[in-house]
Every structure is written in structure tokens, then in C-alpha cells.
A and B are shown apart, each in its own frame.
Chain A
Amino acid sequence: MKEVFNFLTKIGDLKGRDRRGWLLHNVEKPETTAEHTFHLALLVWILGRRKDKVDLDKMIKMALVHDLCEVYAKDLTPYDPLLSEDSEKNRKILEKWPEFTPEMKRKKEEDKRQMESEGLKKLTADLPQNLKEEIEELWLEYEGMVTPESRFVKQADKMVNFLQGMDYWRKEGKIRHDLWLRWIKEIIDEPILLDFLKEVEDEWIIKEIKE
């Protein structure tokens, strides 16, 4: 039980960990990693129920574990390889979508997965073997994006991030909604999530632009 106690107290740190992407955009009181995970797990549960032939329990667990590695691993953003100590330069970089060659994109993703995998291994090292294996397998499946469950949860993660970004745009005007709209349309192909995207556009973006 001591191992479980240690694990549960460590993951509690994520309740106070502001997400770096929002901090970079100077969002006031940004959501924490735990808040993002809560939002994702509910989105996966509620929208995932509409999807046939998937293991919904597994998808919800996948959502719950997907960012646990951040107890030890840095919460990376797509902009990280381009940022420096120069805040003025960084501000200009954030005005555009980050540009990378296909090789750079691949390398960036490989490095990210390596770092996160090490973070997760460190976090789960002392857990009972079957629990440790279950968490690691769920995370590997999520990152692999081969199964229908992992593809859905991966896209749902982007969708909930998009939803949060659009909320900050509406409330604080600090997110480039046009860039985010372009980005999300390259990422989502799940029909259920595309329907949800249409709802976000109708309810928030179109109304906000008209006002």
C-alpha cells in the first residue's frame, strides 16, 4: 500500500501544475494538467459512447493516464524548439504556427516520447507489477495511435485543448483563433469529433465574430 500512497501523492502535484502552453500565451490563471485531464476524461466518456466497437473503459483510463508522465517530464508545447530567453522574439514566434520540416517534426516527436516515457517509468517504478504494466501499456497504446481507442483519445486530447484555447480567446483574446482553427482541421478526422467541432464553431466562433 505504501507504493500506491506514494504514487497517489505524486500525481496530486498535477493539480497545481499550470499548463505551459497557456502560460506562454500569458493566459491568466491557466488550467492545470489535472484540470485538463478531468475535462478530457469526461469528453472521451460522453462522446466516446457514440462510437461503435470500442472499449470505452479503456479509453477513459487512457485519458486518465495520458499526461501522468508530466509529474517528472516537462509539459512540452509545439513552440518549444523555437523559443529563447528573448521574450520579444518569443512573442513574434507565437503569432504564427511553428514551422518545421518533416524530419524536424519526426525528431521532435521521438524526443518528446522518449522524455515522457522516462517520466512515466520513474513515476510507476515502485507500483505493483500488474498496475505498473497496465498504466504503461495504456500510455504506449495511446502514443502508438494504431488502435481505434487510441486514435479517438489522441484526437479528443487535441479537441479539448482547442476548446480551452477558444475559451481563452473569447474571454481574454490571447489566443490566435484563426491559427487554431487551421490546426484542428488538419488533425481531426473522427466523425463524432468533427460534429463536436461544428458545434464549437456555431456556438462560440461564429457568434463571437459577429459581435
Chain B
Amino acid sequence: MNEKKYYLTAEGLTKLKSEYEKLRRTRQLRIGGRDDAPSALHSEELNPEFVHFQDDLASIDIRLAELESVFKNTKPIRPAKGKVGIGAMVTVSVDGQEDKLLIVEALEADPAAGKISIESPVGKALLDKRAGEEVSISSPIETVYKIKKIDHFTS
């Protein structure tokens, strides 16, 4: 089975690596350098603190594994020639207003900073479109995005 590929900007990758390191440090602190629970939590009977400790550790391990998979499958952003893809800064005209949207993986979306997820309705609709094309977002009220310009960023 093909694993999902991730196309991240340098900034996005740095942010994820920073989270990975932070999680590793947290894990080390939790276990105090050991691979099992602190001895104080071991008990013959069901100890709620021990259960909580194990749940906590398990969720950290799952997240670490997810991030390792992202790093393993991160590929350089290759600009789609003349088309909107991940890493494209798209200048659009909407309702007479101009805006610039950077199209990114969901993992690094930050709409308030202008980074729009490729999996959002607008991101999906713009994907593979070219300058000059118009994209209509189907909703109760139609919104038309006219693509004026596409600039590309590489990772």
C-alpha cells in the first residue's frame, strides 16, 4: 500500500520537527530515562495513576510514530507548472477584493496567516487551476474566485 506523501514548506517542516523534539523530551521526563513506569506507580492492584501514566505515554508514542511517518514521507515541493498546487501563492479576486492565499498541506494550514489547507473547500476547488480561470465555490451563496496570478514556493 502506498503511504501518503507530504509536501511541506521549510517553515512547516521546522515546526513539526520542533514538536517532535518537544514530545521526545516530554517522554523522557515522564519516564525518567526508563522504558517503563516509575516504580512508585507499580502496584498489584489497579492503580489509577499507573493507568493514566500508561495512557499518557501511549498517546505520546502514537504521535511520535505519526510524525516519524510524516518525516519519512516528506517530499520536496515540486511546483506544478502554471497550475495551483501545494506551495503556490495564489492571487485571487473575490467579490471585487484581492487576496493572496498560500496553498499548503493540512498539517501546516494557518488561515489567519494566509496559509490555506489543500483539504479546505477553497483549497480543493483551486487545486490544478490556472491563472485566468474562475472557480465557483458551491454553497448556498455562490462565491467566485478569479485566479489572477500564481507564484510558486519550493521547500
Listed in ascending order, the chain A residues whose CB lies under 8 Å from chain B are 53, 55, 78, 96-97, 99-102, 105-106, 108-109, 144-147, 151, 177-179, 181-182, 185-189, 194, 201, 205-206, 209
Contact = CB atoms under 8 A, between A and B. Distances in A.
B120 A185 contact: yes
B120 A99 contact: no
B60 to A, nearest CB: 10
Contact of A185 (B62, B97, B100, B122): B122
Contact of B139 (A53, A109, A181, A189): A181
A96 B97 contact: yes
Contacts of A109: 110, 112-113
Contact of A182 (B62, B94, B119): B94
Interface residues of B, number: 36
B112 A181 contact: no
A101 B100 contact: yes
6 tightest A-B CB contacts, nearest first: A189-B119, A189-B117, A185-B121, A189-B120, A187-B111, A205-B140
Contact of A186 (B15, B19, B89, B122): B122
Given A102-B102, A147-B19, A186 B116 contact: yes
A191 to B, nearest CB: 8
B39 interface: no
Contact of B19 (A146, A187, A205): A146
A209 to B, nearest CB: 6
Given A101-B100, A102-B89, A201-B140, A187 B120 contact: yes
Given A99-B97, A146-B19, A181-B141, A106 B114 contact: yes
18 contacts: A96-B95, A99-B97, A102-B89, A102-B100, A102-B114, A106-B113, A146-B16, A147-B19, A177-B141, A179-B95, A185-B120, A185-B121, A186-B122, A186-B123, A189-B106, A189-B118, A205-B140, A209-B140
Contacts of B111: 186-187
A100 B111 CA distance: 12
A178 B100 contact: no
B59 interface: yes
Contact of A53 (B62, B106, B110, B119): B62
Contacts of B110: 109, 145
